[in-house]
Structures are given as C-alpha cells and as structure tokens.
Structure 1
Amino acid sequence: MSLWKRLFGMLAVLSLILIGAGSSASAAPRGSWNDFSCRPSVDHPRPVILVHGTFANSTNNWLVLAPYLADRGYCVFSLDYGQSPDVPFIHGLGPIDKSAEQLKAFVGRVLSATGAAKVDIVGHSQGGMMPRYYLKFLGGATKVNALVGVAPNNHGTTVLGLTRLLPYFPGVEDLINTHTPAVADQLAGSDFMRRLNAGGDTVPGVKYTVIATRYDGVVTPYRSQFLNGLNVRNVLLQNLCPVDLSEHMAIGMVDLIAFHEVANALDPVSATPTSCTSIFD
C-alpha cells in the first residue's frame, strides 16, 4: 500500500470522526476515565481496562476510545506499563512478562476500588497481546471476562520482513534487546512468542475478540494477529467497512468503526451490526 493511500486513509478516518463527534456533541458530555470512584452499572457490570501499545502511554493511546466507552456508561481505566528509566512519556518498552505483572497489580486495584468480580480488557498492539501472558501464566483468567485485541501482535511480527535483515547489521539486535526488550519479545520466532503460544493461544473461561486491518504495516502479516481456540472471534475491519483504510495506528487510536466493534465485543447482548455508518452510532 502506497504512502499516499495510507495518508488518505488516516485523513478519511479523522474526517469521519469529526463528523461523528459533531453530530453527538450536544447529546452528552465527553466521558472521563480513571475515576476510581466509578461504580459499574447493571447494564455494564464490568470495568474496562485499556492497555496501550509499544511507544505509547495510558493517555495518548485512548483520547478517543476512553471517552467513547465512558459516554456509553462504562467505568474505564488505563495504566502505564513497561516504563524505561531513560525514556519519559512513552512506555511499553520493558520485558513483556514484567509488564504483565504490572497489569495484574492494576487489575487487582480496579477490582478492589469498584467492587466488581471481573474486568474486561481492551488493548492495542502489544496491549492486545501482553494481557494473554497475564491470563495464561499469572492467574488472570479468573479475573477477566473478555480480552479485545485491536491490531494485537499475537504471534510475532516480521515488520514487513525487516527482521530478516537483522543478521546483516551486527550489533543492532543486541541494541534492541538491551534498550527495548519489548520490541525483541514481539519479533516473530522470539523466545517470548514461542512460550506465549505453546500449548494453544487461549485459556478456558475468557472470551477473545481480535479486530485487525489488512493495511497493518507494523504487525505483519496481519493474519498473524488472529487467534485459534475456543471463544474466539476474529474480525477483519474491511469486512465490516470495505472503504476503511486505517493502518496500525489509526485502527487503535481514532477509528470509530473499529470502536463500534469493540463496544459490540464488550456487550454482545446489545450488539448492533458494524458498518461504514457506525461512526454515527
């Protein structure tokens, strides 16, 4: 996909968001999140925890989705994880198994504050995959009802084949391993990926949804994002809206069509069909 098509796709999505936001601005105020006094409602009994991606943080990844869900009556929370002492503001850099321990602690804090029995988790990129480690190895399956991954790196990425070039550049791989271990963990064939997916992609008792875009240039090939196992729903964004050209960042940060499908995954009983007009819902 050409650079111009990618830019056009992002501009198109942003334009649709502005139209949709303008049509609903008078209907309700923008919702807030990380309000630990929030109590889940009967309609939405589980808090939603948003898990950002690599090189992101608990705010900038969720400037659209967090209020989108809060406006719909959810108690919404987000955390920073994988911090590096040498890098301010952007996170998701540390070893993924350690980041999963941070998620475990945050889930416990949210459950304690809200009185809920379980949470739902929505994550973008690394944030859609890292919780699987928590579910599989850290007891998270008893605390989580559903995991919704938006462009999740579930089986490792080839980054459009660039990882095959690493052996030709001595020292680069060691630099990645030392300063951004989360990046090394996410490469196709890494020790972390092999351990995460050994014995199956899923654990019993948790519902899984994956929302992917065919134009993803970060987690490649895009079909590697899809999961196998029970209670799994794999969704390709372009099957819902063929003209949606969102790439890896747009689908997780600004795409209201994808976010409508997130809402459906969180509340399947009240789900409505997702289409190109879902920005107006």
Structure 2
Amino acid sequence: MLRSKRRISAAVSALFASLLLALSLSAAPAQAATPNPVVFVHGLSSSSSSWDEWVADFKADGYTASQLDAWSYSWSQSNVTTAQQLATEVKRVLAATGASKVDLVVHSMGALSARYYLKNLGGTAYVDDFVSVAGVNHGTTVASWCSWLYTSCAEMYTGSSFLTALNSGDETPGSVSYASYWSNCDEALTPDTTALLSGATNVEVGCIAHTDMNNDYGVYEQVRDFVA
C-alpha cells in the first residue's frame, strides 16, 4: 500500500513538473526576426521621393528608418553605371545596419540596373529578395520618345543590345527570391507582359497606372508579405 502511494506521488510530481515547464515555455515572449534592410531603386525621370508612401507604410509595419534606403541616381546615365553605384550603395547599407543581405524593391527602369547588378556584379551574394514593380524587364517601344536623348532610355527600348544581353540565359540568377508585380493596363509597358520574369513569382495586380504601381497600398501589402 505504501509503495503504491509513493508511485502515485511520483507520478503526480512528474505531471506537475511537466505543467510548469509547459507554462514557462508558453510565457516566453516570441522574438521577432529582424527584417532585411530594403533598398529602393526608382525609374526613369524619377527620384527617391517616388517611394515616400511605401517608406511610410513599411515604417508603420515596424521597419526603422535605417532599414529603408530610398536613394536617387542620375536616371539619364547608362543602367550599367547605375548598377555599379547600386553595388556601392548596397554595401554601404549593409555596413550601416550590420545586416548580411538586403531586399531590393525596384520600379520601372530601376529593374534594369538592379538586375544587371545581380547578374554581372555579384549582387546575388548580397540580396535576399528582389521585387520588380512595373519593371521594364523586356523593354518597351514607349521608350522611343527618349531613346535618342538618354543612354538609359535607349537601353530600355525593346530589342536593345543591353536587354538582349541582360535577358540571355537565366533571368533570375542565384538563390535570390524573385517577384514581379505587373498591371494589365500599364500605359508605359508595351506589351504589359514585358514585366514578367522567367523563374520569378509573377503577379498580375489588375488595372493600375504605371506611375501608381509603387504607391498603391494593395500592391504594397503583397510586396511587404513577399519580402517578409
């Protein structure tokens, strides 16, 4: 009888200890993962201010100012030159934040310099996610109006030697996660499907104007969830 009571007492003690352990684990606060810094690349005839609304949205969702880098460059220059400057900018952001990789979020022509950086300048080692928003990934004939004025615009014209080289082989190199968000009524892209990337998550977002794509909140939510 005494031995039986001892067995019951031991079983109760073991059960009590298990309950205490479970409670202590459930009470431990969850540690949120630190997000990658986001580097934004604007397009033709634009500047860093084109990202103001999305920067504010990212901040509202927990990002700090140091994790959001919208920078400006000379959009008339070759996309190759911009890609070289982007490489320097990414390394600056990594050094400033202590992060190991960034996420690239690009609009329109910004996709070309960013993709050149990934393909030709070793960018895949420093980028986790790449997001193209209304990216001119395979060119547009709309660029005819400025192709004789600006090197960047000539490179953006459908069938340019720059685009032929950029899109040869693997369009989504490395272990980077790629996404392309495109509109089915984009007045700047001819055809709209020029924005699609082979090997990427391609998302049609409906009828949104080209210049509204990178300040639309519905598109923002999808981009935020992708880079998360």
Amino acid at match of 1:95: S
Where 2:141 maps in the other structure, the secondary structure is coil
| 2:179 is the alignment partner of 1:209 | yes
Change (3 A) 1:42 1:113: farther
Amino acid at match of 2:157: L
The number of equivalent residue pairs is: 195
Displacement over 4 Å in runs of 4+ = none
- Contact 1:128–1:147 (CA under 8 A) maintained in structure 2: no
Counterpart for residue 197 of structure 1: 167
Cα deviation, residue 43, structure 1 = 2.7
| 2:54 is the alignment partner of 1:65 | yes
Cα deviation, residue 117, structure 1 = 0.2
Task: Describe how 1:227-266 pairs up with structure 2 within 5 A.
Answer: 227-229=197-199, 232-238=200-206, 245-252=207-214, 254-266=215-227
Larger Rg: 2
Tell me how far apart the structure 2 counterparts of residues 65 and 151 of structure 1 sit (CA, whole Å): 15
Counterpart for residue 25 of structure 2: none
Q: Which has the higher helix share?
A: 2
Cα deviation, residue 45, structure 1 = 2.9
Tell me how far apart the structure 2 counterparts of residues 265 and 66 of structure 1 sit (CA, whole Å): 16
Q: Deviations over 1:94-123 (max 9, x none)?
A: 100000001000001000000000000101
Where 2:202 maps in the other structure, the secondary structure is strand
Tell me how far apart the structure 1 counterparts of residues 173 and 180 of structure 2 sit (CA, whole Å): 15
Given candidates 139, 147, 154, the residue that maps to 1:176 is: 147
Tell me how far apart the structure 1 counterparts of residues 158 and 147 of structure 2 sit (CA, whole Å): 14
Where 1:257 maps in the other structure, the secondary structure is helix
Q: Deviations over 1:232-266 (max 9, x none)?
A: 2000002xxxxxx32100112x2111111111111
Cα deviation, residue 132, structure 1 = 0.6
Counterpart for residue 109 of structure 2: 126
- Contact 1:44–1:73 (CA under 8 A) maintained in structure 2: no
Tell me how far apart the structure 2 counterparts of residues 191 and 206 of structure 1 sit (CA, whole Å): 25
Cα deviation, residue 69, structure 1 = 0.9
- Contact 1:123–1:129 (CA under 8 A) maintained in structure 2: no
- Contact 1:156–1:189 (CA under 8 A) maintained in structure 2: yes
Tell me how far apart the structure 1 counterparts of residues 211 and 94 of structure 2 sit (CA, whole Å): 29
| 2:78 is the alignment partner of 1:78 | no
Amino acid at match of 1:67: A
Question: What's the TM-score once normalised by structure 1's chain length?
Answer: 0.66
* Identical pairs, percent: 34
Structure 1 residues 180-189 or 65-74, which shifts more? 65-74
Amino acid at match of 2:44: T
Amino acid at match of 1:235: V
Question: What's the TM-score once normalised by structure 2's chain length?
Answer: 0.81
Tell me how far apart the structure 2 counterparts of residues 157 and 262 of structure 1 sit (CA, whole Å): 24
Cα deviation, residue 42, structure 1 = 4.5
Amino acid at match of 1:233: T
5+ long unaligned stretches in structure 1: 1-40, 84-91, 164-171, 239-244, 268-281
| 2:193 is the alignment partner of 1:223 | yes
Tell me how far apart the structure 1 counterparts of residues 196 and 57 of structure 2 sit (CA, whole Å): 25
- Contact 2:79–2:112 (CA under 8 A) maintained in structure 1: no
Q: Deviations over 1:159-214 (max 9, x none)?
A: 2xx84xxxxxxxx8xx734x411110000100100110111211021110100001
| 2:40 is the alignment partner of 1:50 | yes
Q: Quote the RMSD (CA, aligned, Å).
A: 1.7
Where 2:147 maps in the other structure, the secondary structure is helix
| 2:87 is the alignment partner of 1:98 | no
